[in-house]
Structure 1
Amino acid sequence: MINASFLSKVGKSSVRSADDIRVKLVAIAKDEGAYFTQWVHHHLFFGFDDIEIFINRTTDNSSEVLDDISRSYPSVTWDSADWVDMCPEEAKKQIQFVVYNKVWHEAKKENKFTHIIFLDIDEYWIPRHFNISIKQFLADFSDDDVISFEWLNDMGTLPKLSHVPRTISGNLSPLVKTIYPLHAPVKELRHHVPLFSKKVAHLLANKVDFRPRPSLIQAVSPELQSLKDAFIYHRAHRSAEEYVSLLLRGRPGDAFPYKTNRYGLPVKDDMHREIELPLDAFLKYEQSYVNFERKTNYFNHKLSAESFVEERYKASLANLAKHSLANYPLMMQMFRGVKLPEVTKTFKDVRKNLISFRPDDFRFIRDLAIDAASQNIDEAIELMEQARELNPTGSIILKKLDEFRALKGQ
């Protein structure tokens, strides 16, 4: 329990000792057995006091993995959230908010924690210098401060099933994840930034006031974006193979088998950042993970957990041709930038099939060539040349053809 002197200060603005801070981390997950051990270790390593995980609609060995973690680390607990499926259809689609509000309500009643944060299993809280805990970080803020951490989105270029790398690279995202004092006046929990019932001290990790974008209130204003001393490493893609596998998880309440709120593998943009974690701190972290894996008996579960990811990857590929032909724009959105041979061959065949119905439509062929460029530059050139034969003077066609040839040359 929190000491009495701290509880008497709740609601007052004052900097306090890290020893007075108690942080609860909550997640809801589906078929994440291959990732729990890394994610739980990471957040225990950085001082999160309590981790509560809810699994839903899960068919892998998540429960076995979590049982062994909980046995060795009682501060890590898990439960099923399948009871949400007894709710009406619209409520089922909001499973995260249903569960998160339940936990928020219970945490306030328990009065054991000062702060709470909701993260997904692909989200890792990272102190940039890798040498302070979440509680040490929060001790430099006031009791009432609500703090939002910006995302650094991974690029999907790491080896399959790899751990957090020493060199972290990605594109900064304006989206954030937020940690709250449990007495914060939250009116409505949301994915990134909540709705408050009254004005609060809402800060970024560098203590600058959070200001939203006018068109996207859960995203930080562009001029405030930067890689700060603490951020969320968002491992949404991991490797190309894992990304393709994860796409087949679908979305809650959606009958379509693929995860339609994904937009392909990213490319470096103006917000790309890369940091190298301090060697001594990283080696200590890696050794700690080895010990954690041994203590939680993950070797008993690893083969099954990782095989599930691989089998889902194969199923994702097996369903690709059928859904890509019937839902080409949507599937292209999700698989843009994926250059795995099985994927590029399937999409090449699909585009060839689509063109057979509109062989004289140079605009249609041109647009398919632009799609192909993110997956297979040779196919993109071939299709754009086909479009040029139908429209030899088309300015977009000629420009893109030059671009594609330059890319191939690079």
Structure 2
Amino acid sequence: MNSFFTTKRLSSEVSSPKDVRVKLVAIAKDEAAYLTQWIHHHIYFGFDDIEIYINRTTDNSSDVLDDICASYPNVSWDSADWVDMCPEDAKKQIQFVVYNKVWHEVRKEQAFTHIIFLDIDEYWLPLDFQTTIKEFLQSRNTDDVISFEWMNDEGNLPKLSQLPSIVSGNLSPLVKTVYPINVPVKELRHHVPLFSGSVNHVLADGQAFKPRPTLIQAVAPELQSLKDAFIYHRAHRSAEEYVSLLLRGRPGDLFPYKSNRYGLPQKDKMFRDVKLPDSLYSRYIKSYKDFESRVNYVEHKQEAESFVEQRLKLSLENLEKHVKANYPLMMQIFRGVKLPEVTNVFCNVRKRLVASRAEDFKFIRDLAIDAASQNLDEAIELMEIAKKLNPNGPVILAKLDEFKNKKASETIS
């Protein structure tokens, strides 16, 4: 077993400039099926202490975490439901309320040199698949604030699978940031903090962080690249899990689905894939199996995964009602999802919409473009209808050719 797995809870003050001790903090809601993998991953890569707050949770997360904490004293958890006693506006900011509580405590205790806040779908990943977070920070100026760029997964993996041997996705300009605990922070934010004093804020390759003019928590386009370490953002996992996770909603939002999601991604010019070294990956998987056995996850796995399945079922059962009531938003959320249970609902709703505006070729054209991300056959059928209404429309003709060519290429492959 790796030496990383014998770490104990830290209580003494940091004594050396290079004595790097990193605390990882997360907030989790109904994440029982993913906690064991996520915790193992970050202990494996050298994080000294992991603290998880669960909130508004109805699955068996507490049972999973109790068994992990019993074997690993450097992992702890607590409930954050106390935030729900705050006024309504504060309840919507549960992440920031909890993060600032932890930030205050860590600065007061001085037991760690660095802290990072990640979600349970975010995995800190070294490109070589062996450098630990401590080694990474020790190789840099330990006073630097370092932001790690995202790689967003594709949502094309088998359901409830582990970290894949080929990590792939579109690079994102959004980041997650590791802070030395004594840097002057005025306001914690999701991706990049607002500093109250001068700091040396860099990316993983040492280049100075430069924000986008219109998105200050994202890195400038000319700096965006795959670097020696990044955040693998498992926001989608599989199509089934994506649809299930959507029903978690957003804090303080009465709408049942996560309205800040934009469907399953398509490969773009920032697509990259990373083949993890076979021997190191095998070692990682063996380590995970040992970890899973040690924390008795077999006792909780079926219940944890059944929760994901039941939420998927409920998500699908509620789909038609909300697609009918709010087609544009639901199309945004479910774009690219090709599960038959999803595509059938959207197809039927689009048929009704076409019937209600049967002479509006622009409207039907736009519905066809929507359909193309879910079902090319439906998209072609709708675009043919639009073409009959406007035979020489340049967008209609171009899109119809595009859809037919794509359909032909998929048939060949």
Q: TM-score, normalised by structure 1?
A: 0.96
Q: Given the alignment of the two structures, is residue 116 of structure 1 paired with residue 115 of structure 2, yes or no?
A: yes
Report the 3-state secondary structure (helix = DSSP H, G, I; strand = E; otherwise coil) of the residue aligned with 1:35: helix
One-letter amino acid matched to 1:326 = A
In structure 1, what is the Cα distance between the partners aligned to 2:347 and 2:386?
16
In structure 1, what is the Cα distance between the partners aligned to 2:139 and 2:353?
59
Which stretches in structure 1 are left out of the alignment for 5+ residues? 10-15
Report the 3-state secondary structure (helix = DSSP H, G, I; strand = E; otherwise coil) of the residue aligned with 1:71: helix
Deviation at residue 357 of structure 1 after TM alignment: 1.5
Give the conservation status (yes or no) of the 8 Å contact 2:13–2:112: no
In structure 2, what is the Cα distance between the partners aligned to 1:244 and 1:227?
28
One-letter amino acid matched to 2:122 = E
Q: Given the alignment of the two structures, is residue 98 of structure 1 paired with residue 94 of structure 2, yes or no?
A: no
One-letter amino acid matched to 2:118 = L
One-letter amino acid matched to 1:266 = P
Q: Which residue of 2 aligns with 1:273?
A: 272
Q: Given the alignment of the two structures, is residue 218 of structure 1 paired with residue 223 of structure 2, yes or no?
A: no
Give the conservation status (yes or no) of the 8 Å contact 1:147–1:205: yes
Q: Which residue of 1 aligns with 2:131?
A: 132
In structure 2, what is the Cα distance between the partners aligned to 1:132 and 1:144?
19
Deviation at residue 399 of structure 1 after TM alignment: 1.2
Q: Which residue of 1 aligns with 2:202?
A: 203
In structure 2, what is the Cα distance between the partners aligned to 1:295 and 1:130?
23
Q: How many equivalent pairs are there?
A: 399
Q: Given the alignment of the two structures, is residue 250 of structure 1 paired with residue 245 of structure 2, yes or no?
A: no
Q: Which residue of 2 aligns with 1:302?
A: 301
Deviation at residue 407 of structure 1 after TM alignment: 0.9
Q: Given the alignment of the two structures, is residue 360 of structure 1 paired with residue 359 of structure 2, yes or no?
A: yes
Q: Which residue of 2 aligns with 1:62?
A: 61
In structure 1, what is the Cα distance between the partners aligned to 2:206 and 2:282?
30
Q: Which residue of 1 aligns with 2:7?
A: none
One-letter amino acid matched to 2:24 = L
Farther off after superposition, 198-207 or 247-256: 198-207
In structure 1, what is the Cα distance between the partners aligned to 2:385 and 2:88?
47
In structure 1, what is the Cα distance between the partners aligned to 2:137 and 2:93?
30
One-letter amino acid matched to 1:378 = D
Per-residue CA deviation, residues 216-245 of structure 1 (Å, 9 max, x unaligned), is 110001111111110000000000000000
In structure 1, what is the Cα distance between the partners aligned to 2:39 and 2:134?
16
Q: Spell out the pairing of 1:275-290 with structure 2 (5 A cutoff).
A: 275-290=274-289
In structure 1, what is the Cα distance between the partners aligned to 2:53 and 2:219?
29
Q: Which residue of 1 aligns with 2:237?
A: 238
Q: Which residue of 2 aligns with 1:165?
A: 164
Deviation at residue 2 of structure 1 after TM alignment: 5.1
Q: Spell out the pairing of 1:41-80 with structure 2 (5 A cutoff).
A: 41-80=40-79
Which stretches in structure 2 are left out of the alignment for 5+ residues? 1-10
Give the conservation status (yes or no) of the 8 Å contact 2:13–2:110: no
Q: Spell out the pairing of 1:338-349 with structure 2 (5 A cutoff).
A: 338-349=337-348
In structure 2, what is the Cα distance between the partners aligned to 1:288 and 1:52?
21
Per-residue CA deviation, residues 106-132 of structure 1 (Å, 9 max, x unaligned), is 111111000000000000000110111
Q: Which residue of 2 aligns with 1:174?
A: 173
One-letter amino acid matched to 1:389 = K
Q: Which residue of 2 aligns with 1:12?
A: none
- CA, structure 1 residues 79+5, in 2 after alignment: closer, same or farther (shift >3 Å)? closer
Q: Which residue of 2 aligns with 1:13?
A: none
In structure 2, what is the Cα distance between the partners aligned to 1:305 and 1:173?
30
Deviation at residue 5 of structure 1 after TM alignment: 3.8
One-letter amino acid matched to 2:388 = E
Q: TM-score, normalised by structure 2?
A: 0.95
One-letter amino acid matched to 1:308 = F
